[in-house]
Amino acid sequence: MRESTAVADLREGETVLDLGSGGGIDVLLSADRVGATGRAIGLDMTDEMLELAQRNGRESAATNIEFLRGTIEDVPLPEASVDVIVSNCVINLSTDKTSVLTEMFRVLRPGGRVGVSDIVAANDLTPEQRAARGSFVGCIAGALSIEEFERGLHDAGFIDVQIQVTHDVADGMHSAIVRAVKPASAEESVT
């Protein structure tokens, strides 16, 4: 199983959104895990990937999937419409990560959660040092530091933020599992 769906702890009946869903593999895996009463939505900005995802969806015969065209900075879903957000190495590709994190918070229902895999930088690396270690295409140059990612999630309103480094991808650059929760109530919110 791919890392992003494995870390999200999907449950029967939930609605899950995959940011940057590409060919739809994580959407199909998620659809199976949330069952017939759940829903899996893939979001991608390229027509080619959406066509591939839709073809993969038809071949799977899954009935609880949907693929949307859009960007992760401006998700075309209503407020509080999903239970879980997954993604696999796409947040660091955005040039407006604040908007991505804000949109994630917006579309999650109260008590909803994030379970993504992404690339993070060591806290002591400057943006120039990160860029020297790899390109945006390679998921490295745009990576936030661990501290920046944590702060960004908190600033967006998330609680219970956890960033677990899983392995090194370059000097000072790491693959990580990122988890966070939207407060279920105003009393749980971070001040």
The beta strand positions in 90-172, using DSSP E, are 108-121, 144-145, 159-170
Distance (Å) of CA 37 to CA 11, 15, 16, 157: 10, 9, 12, 29
| Domains assigned to the chain | 3-188 (3.40.50.150)
Give pLDDT tens digits for 21-78.
999 999 999 999 999 999 999 999 999 999 999 999 999 989 999 999 999 999 999 9
Burial of 153 (0-12, 13-18, 19+ CB in 10 A): buried
Main-chain dihedrals φ then ψ at residue 169, nearest 5 degrees? -115, -20
157 contacts 79 by C-beta, under 8 angstroms: no
Give pLDDT tens digits for 70-128.
999 999 999 999 999 999 989 988 999 999 999 999 999 999 999 999 999 999 988 88
